[in-house]
Amino acid sequence: MSVIMMEELEYKITQLKKELIQIAEETGLNSHETIYCSQKLDQYITIYQKLTCKNKKNKRNMGTVLAFH
């Protein structure tokens, strides 16, 4: 996973957090718009967490492979 893609995901997550706060203040916590934005944010966070976890596993495996050579 490239650093640029991770940075783009971090930026998108930050933007969605701001958008979520604004929408929630304007339309209420239980509005369809707030819930939709929250779910979209959840999707991006899940993708980010999966990629971060995958990268950690790959780095750990590379260390193991290098240790045996």
Say what the pTM is.
0.77
Q: Residue 7: give its domain's CATH number.
A: 4.10.280.10
Instruction: Tell me if residue 69 falls in helix, strand or coil.
Output: coil
Tokens of 34: 């707030």
Alpha helices, H only, the chain? 3-27, 32-68
**Average pLDDT over the chain, rounded to an integer:** 86
Residue pLDDT, tens place only, 43-54: 999 999 999 987
For 41, the domain range is 3-68
Q: Identify the weakest region by mean pLDDT among 11-15, 38-42, 49-53, 64-68.
A: 64-68
pLDDT at 1 over 60: no
